[in-house]
Structure 1
């Protein structure tokens, strides 16, 4: 296999593509079931997208961390803190973007806290902010601790989070009303800066639930380390005997661990339900196991069987500028939302006048709009790739 591992690039690109697809439907009222998040407990295909991306962040760390160790502590801290601040800041600005909004027929500024409603304001946290925080703390763990300690600390984090939820939650500690993390978010961030999509102030990317997401990045890193070793476990257990067939040994290891994690997540979910919105420990294990199965399958087809086709090239383009295109996919609709075409906006007009009129149930028009928007994002990534422009953070 190549040292670059094209399969990991395809995995990252596919994750970004799915993030764009599920975040940009024609109508949130018309979604096919697999494109919906679970109402609360449970895990749909859409609930796999975000943890898969965090897992991919950890994979990439496995290839960067050796260079940071060679460069020393000063370079490590400068690199990690700068990247954390940039990603967090971009996420915060994206929540505020485009700083204007239509209200009663005129454009007005979007205030940090709405003067007419002190309980409403700009959300502080979000997807990019969670990526930034999880990346930062995971980087510190894997930089300063040996792999055995990293595994131990990661397990401890998941167990402690379970204990905290069970101890400080209400009579139903894993419910929307009973989860203890909301009270902390309200105290630290303020009600005005929390997500209101559940009908009450509750942030699915809140401070406390970021804790187990750190482990998601760490597990991605450990997987990347294992893949780089091509199946040899000498880096973790020095006395182990190297396999005579390292590539197949590596894949066997990935699949065995994947099945164990999926089953362990399901078993733990009987007591600590699998739940994306509070990012439960069982959810971390379950989704990581599924990520391992996905990566193992991609390695088999792409690296070993050398399957390279239009589909892999399509996703690989997204993997070249993942954060940039994700930010653009959120910023562009909001910017175009300021443009009026009669009493609607350009993208809304395209949905209602073109996509919504496609024969079939309304879900067909909604997903056709999402696919068209995804194609637009791909075209932008393709042009950047052709010109050799890669926007890194």
Structure 2
């Protein structure tokens, strides 16, 4: 991991530097990180202070389902992992074409994955030593690191798209088979509850420290296997966008992305009847449903920004997307809430309670964005 200051116009953020960056990918990454960084609180505060029905509906969509099911907020994390896959053909593929050896690229891919695992442990537990029994080792960053790492290794060593599709199908079908057929002691086979799933049992058996839900961890080790499929879906999309073959026209690429996204949704929701859509277990049906929505969002951003060239509105999100890892971990070390109160509390005191509540959230987000904009102007970016 390193923080770089560069005078180039195409910095690399959280993945190896591609030769050509997709503006839409940076904007979509920033759009995704905006909600992770606190944007969802706008709807929660609106719903709480006003009671408006539409605000309550949106606020509900910006919460996770308790177990089975799918809401918009359940797509935030897989979308980020999906985008790590999209960047792979631009980043790793371009270096392969320049003659960089697979072994050298594999070392960099593995190193990056392990660094993200380490950052996740620090993010969960801080810099101070805790007893291992009190530490949580699984994390969002670890899942991005491990799933992205294995997906990129598949891309490196199985360059034939047919082989990659076989890997994708094999991971999803294999995960489904073992989750349904292998019995868990005291529970039996095919039980997909919090206490009895095979994924939770394996994580309890092999992972040190504590799990997020005591008996289960939504970012556990075993459920990382189907998450590789999420990153592979991104790689498939990135290969399409980078292709120079028969489907080379931008409008054609947009159409194929849309068809692929709809196809994933149909297959995922259909599969969900027998293998429920479940983010905590990262079920195969969840991979397809979250992946379908991710592909459709990429198609929309790509068509508007890179095809239609309507990009001015996206600058706000691009600033966030080009330092996404930094803003994710910075909140653990920088008190943005204190800064927001320092600059805006006096001004907000003149308004009514609903305005103050929403204004506090906007002020918090504004301080975060100003920090990222400062980094952007100084061309300082966190690279992993």
TM-score grouping bracket, smaller chain normalisation: 0.7 to 0.9
Partner of residue 180, structure 1: 198
Secondary structure of the residue aligned to 1:193 is coil
Q: TM-score, normalised by structure 1?
A: 0.80
Structure 1 Cα separation of the partners of residues 317 and 170 of structure 2? 35
Secondary structure of the residue aligned to 1:267 is helix
Residue 126 of structure 1, CA deviation: 0.6
Residue 330 of structure 1, CA deviation: 3.8
Q: Which structure's relative contact order is higher, taking Cα pairs within 8 Å and 6+ residues apart?
A: 2
User: Is this contact kept in 1: 2:340–2:363, CA < 8 A?
Assistant: no
Distance 1:304 1:77, change over 3 A: closer
Secondary structure of the residue aligned to 1:383 is helix
Partner of residue 102, structure 2: 73
Alignment of 1:138-153 (within 5 A): 138-145=151-158, 146-153=160-167
Secondary structure of the residue aligned to 1:324 is helix
User: Is this contact kept in 2: 1:24–1:373, CA < 8 A?
Assistant: no
Residue 299 of structure 1, CA deviation: 1.7
Partner of residue 320, structure 1: 322
Structure 1 Cα separation of the partners of residues 215 and 359 of structure 2? 32
Distance 1:302 1:67, change over 3 A: closer
User: Is this contact kept in 1: 2:114–2:146, CA < 8 A?
Assistant: no
**Does residue 374 of structure 2 align to residue 383 of structure 1?**
yes
Residues 292-348 of structure 1 show CA distances to partners (whole Å, capped at 9, x for unaligned) of 111111122112222122x30100001111111111134435xx8xxxxxxxx9589
Structure 2 Cα separation of the partners of residues 132 and 387 of structure 1? 27
Q: Which moved more, 1:276-285 or 1:370-379?
A: 370-379
**Does residue 305 of structure 2 align to residue 291 of structure 1?**
no
Residue 79 of structure 1, CA deviation: 0.8
Partner of residue 16, structure 1: 33
Residues 72-95 of structure 1 show CA distances to partners (whole Å, capped at 9, x for unaligned) of 033113211221121111111111
Residue 358 of structure 1, CA deviation: 5.4
Residue 23 of structure 1, CA deviation: 8.2
User: Is this contact kept in 1: 2:339–2:367, CA < 8 A?
Assistant: no
How many residue pairs get aligned? The number is 345
User: Is this contact kept in 1: 2:176–2:284, CA < 8 A?
Assistant: yes
Q: TM-score, normalised by structure 2?
A: 0.81
Distance 1:358 1:331, change over 3 A: farther
Gaps of 5+ in 2: 1-18, 49-55
Partner of residue 238, structure 1: none
Partner of residue 121, structure 2: 92
Partner of residue 206, structure 1: 220
Structure 1 Cα separation of the partners of residues 284 and 72 of structure 2? 18
Which of 26, 40, 47 is matched with 2:67 structurally?
40
**Does residue 80 of structure 2 align to residue 56 of structure 1?**
no
Structure 1 Cα separation of the partners of residues 109 and 242 of structure 2? 22
**Does residue 331 of structure 2 align to residue 329 of structure 1?**
yes
Residue 194 of structure 1, CA deviation: 1.4
Structure 1 Cα separation of the partners of residues 288 and 124 of structure 2? 30
Which of 341, 359, 362 is matched with 2:353 structurally?
359
Residue 19 of structure 1, CA deviation: 1.5
Structure 2 Cα separation of the partners of residues 132 and 178 of structure 1? 27
Gaps of 5+ in 1: 100-109, 114-119, 233-241, 337-344
Distance 1:6 1:97, change over 3 A: same
Residues 211-239 of structure 1 show CA distances to partners (whole Å, capped at 9, x for unaligned) of 11111111101101101116x4xxxxxxx
Distance 1:358 1:20, change over 3 A: farther
**Does residue 260 of structure 2 align to residue 250 of structure 1?**
no
